[in-house]
Amino acid sequence: MKQCWLLLFLASSIQAGHFDGGTIRWAPVNRSATTAPIQVVITQTYTYTLSLVTCSVGSQIGSTTFGFNFSLWCTYNCGPTSAGYVAPPVLGYCTGTSPGLNLAFSQRSDIVSLAANDYFTVSHSIPNTSTAGFYRPLTLSTGGTSTTSRWNITASIDVRVRPDNGLINTPPLANVMSPQGIPLNIPTQIVISTFDIDGDNVRCRWSNSSLECGNVCFPTTIPSSTILSSNCTLTITGNVTNSWYCASIQVEDFIDTNLMAVAMSSVPVQFLIYVYPPQNCPVPSLSSPSTCIGVQVGVPYTVTLAAVNNCGSTSNISDIAVQAFSGIVEGPIIQLDPPNGTSYEKNITYTPLLSQLGLQILCATALDNSNIPSAQYCITCIVGDTSVPACPGTATTAVRPPESSSVYNIDTESALSPAQNHRAKHHQTMFKSMLSINNTILPIRSIRSSLSGRGRNSMFQSHRHEQRTSTSNYERLQRRASISSNDSLTVWAPVQKPIRTAINVIRLHRLSHTAISNESENIVNRSAITNQSQLTSATKVSQTSKRNPQRIST
């Protein structure tokens, strides 16, 4: 069974479609700079079929099979409201490969200069006249297979001043690795991890027009029974082995929880999902000593990914696929205690670049020799300039249970004792940050739990409660965060001591997808939330007023 599945997997990978999903995100270089030229960093992250492209780390992705080099064109509200926009290319630079999944990962970042009050839509899309530019063959919800499913990936850019704080909005950050593997006939959750530095209400919805999703709009290439919750949790059941689906989702931020409110921005996430046959043994597992690391620009940091083969001597770990970014160097997979050992390791060395100050998220998954995946594992990297920033605590992590047990519902609250739950909530209440820019206090509250998929704002309370919390709590926490910029924005700690830091986002991230069961057992590894959260560093990010897009050095 496993050998047959492997052959079918590889066969589907080498057919005509070369594109396997991606995302577009943007952020103002200095969100308090509201006069032209307004500089915005646009980051495009795409995944391709490895056998159909050339991918040498650090070099631009290339191929003779699709032969195009389009740009990230303006596709809506173009003209006076996109006056400063010059479209950057879409072809990125190879950041890594996964031979097991037949994938090539790419990313590129460009700075564009916009006019004040620009608001428009950009898309990575393929013209209908093109004879290339398709996803791999996708299973249709109505039955059959499409070999000509085109994609559109669309983001909205809006540099108009927010009505609540006088700053330029920063869209949410969203991340999920493509593809995601799900077991046959088992309802499975795939959690899209999101983060919003402005503390906005973050919601997910299906992409709903050809401009946003091309030929992969819901429910064309995904089962119609699939549910996408507004809290960005996808629930899907794959009913046919070897099926490949595509999920096209928009992640949006709102000033408040008013359901009738208009989104301030919209960023896309498109990823593939494949269905693998029932297994007679547990799926692989993947972990690391750290879910969050502090790293310094120019200083190498090595982290070890540990994979376990849970399927005995008939199987082995063939790949640890890493969705890397610039500065990442992957070591080989090492089997511990060969030839019969079940544990494997892979070292990842990250040397941060100056352009990466703030947050980076490194995601990986382990594969056995039948391409059965582990749950995805992600590590947050907080990048400082002149010092190593501290992580704000230890995230709760989950262990994917053996597939045969069908116990997959992960609930961090019910797994804790009442006393532990009380202490955790107490720490969560204390573990808050206040961001002061030009003496405007902004609570950072919209950090989403990527495990339970509940309560995006549960970890951080309201602004009013921030003001009531005692100063002594903040003195112990010394929580500090800022946006690095050319204007050296002054950021005030809760004790009103001005500091400058290179940390523009704080996020503990553990992205996992788990199948749902009605059984009551929950399997979790819990780590106590600590009060350690001192972050100190300083940076200045030089800006330029050139109108043409500039690729950020990799």
3-class SS letters over 14-37: CCCCCEEEEEEEEEECCCCCCCCC
pLDDT score for 434: 29
pLDDT(141) > 60: yes
Confidence of residue 354 (pLDDT cuts 50, 70, 90): confident
The verdict on residue 538 lying in a domain is no
Nearest-angstrom CA–CA distance, 539 and 542: 10
Domain end point (choices 225, 254, 278): 278
Supply the pLDDT for residue 84. Answer: 87
In terms of domains, do 302 and 270 share one?
no
Residue 466 sits at φ, ψ, to 5 deg, of -55, -40
Model pLDDT for residues 326-353, shown as the tens digit of each residue: 899 999 999 998 888 899 999 999 999 8
47 and 128 fall within a common domain: yes
| Average of per-residue pLDDT across 265-291 | 90
Dist. CA 367–CA 346, nearest whole Å: 13
Mean pLDDT of 449-474: 33
Sheet architecture: strand order including 328-335: 285-287, 301-308, 343-350, 328-335
Q: What does the alpha-carbon distance between residue 395 and residue 428 come to, in Å, rounded to a whole number?
A: 12
What is the per-residue pLDDT across 163-222, written as a single tens digit (0 to 9) for each? 889 999 989 888 888 999 999 999 999 988 777 878 899 999 999 988 899 889 999 999
Contact 140, 168 (CB under 8 A): no
Residue 271 sits in the same domain as residue 328: no
pLDDT in the model for residue 341: 83
pLDDT exceeds 90 at position 279 = no
Contact 310, 342 (CB under 8 A): yes
Q: Please state the rounded mean pLDDT for residues 43-61.
A: 90
**95 and 64 within one domain:** yes
Q: Is residue 399 part of a domain?
A: no
pLDDT at 300 over 60: yes
Give the pLDDT confidence score for residue 549 in this predicted structure. Answer: 60
Domain boundary (242, 263, 278) is at 278
pLDDT interval class at 113 (50, 70, 90): very high
Q: According to the model, what pLDDT value does residue 89 have?
A: 92
pLDDT above 70 covers a percentage of the chain that reads 65
Give domain status of residue 522, yes or no. Answer: no
**Stretch 373-393: mean pLDDT, rounded?**
82
Tell whether 423 and 317 lie within a shared domain. no
Neighbour count for residue 152 (Cβ, 10 Å)? 22
Shared domain for 151 and 272, answered yes or no, is yes
- Give the per-residue pLDDT at 442: 32
Element (H, E) at 96: strand 93-98
Find the domain containing 33 and state its range: 2-278
Of the three residues 233, 256, 278, the one that is the final residue of a domain is: 278
Give the other-Cβ count within 10 Å of 407's Cβ.
17
Residue 400 covered by a domain: no
If asked whether residues 268 and 325 sit together in one domain, one would say no
Question: Is residue 92 over pLDDT 60?
Answer: yes
The span from the CA of 205 to the CA of 198, in Å, is 20
User: Which is higher by pLDDT, 548 or 282?
Assistant: 282
Q: Tell me if 524 is assigned to some domain.
A: no
> For residue range 251-263, what is the model confidence (pLDDT) as tens digits?
999 998 887 788 9
CATH code of 294's domain:
2.60.40.3450
- In the chain, the amino acid numbered 234 is L
CA torsion through residues 309, 315, 316, 317, sign: negative
> Residue 433 pLDDT more than 80?
no
Bridge partners of 175, per DSSP, are 193
Which helix (H) or strand (E) segment is 435 a member of? strand 433-437
pLDDT in tens, 523-551: 333 333 333 333 333 333 333 334 456 66
Residues 218 and 317 in one domain: no
Residue 249 lies in a domain: yes
Label residue 155 exposed, middle or buried (CB < 10 Å: 0-12, 13-18, 19+).
buried
Contact, 303 vs 289, CB < 8 A? yes
The reply to whether 302 and 444 lie within a common domain is: no
Q: What local confidence, expressed as pLDDT, does residue 355 receive?
A: 75
Whether residues 196 and 238 fall in one domain: yes
Are 306 and 247 within one domain? no
- What the block records as the tokens of 424 is 């955790």
521 in a domain, yes or no?
no
Least reliable range by pLDDT among 78-87, 101-110, 283-292, 511-520: 511-520
pLDDT at position 61 over 70 = yes
Q: Could you identify the residue written with the tokens 């498109």?
A: 270
Position 469 scores a pLDDT of 34
Q: Who has greater pLDDT, 498 or 114?
A: 114
Let me know if residue 196 belongs to a domain. Answer: yes
For residue 395, is pLDDT > 60? no
Residues 309 and 383 in one domain: yes
**Contact between residue 234 and residue 247 where contact means Cβ atoms under 8 Å apart:** yes
Nearest to 178 by CA among 249, 264, 270, 301: 270
Average pLDDT over residues 298-307: 95
For residue 86, pLDDT beyond 70: yes
Counting the structural domains of the chain, the total is 3
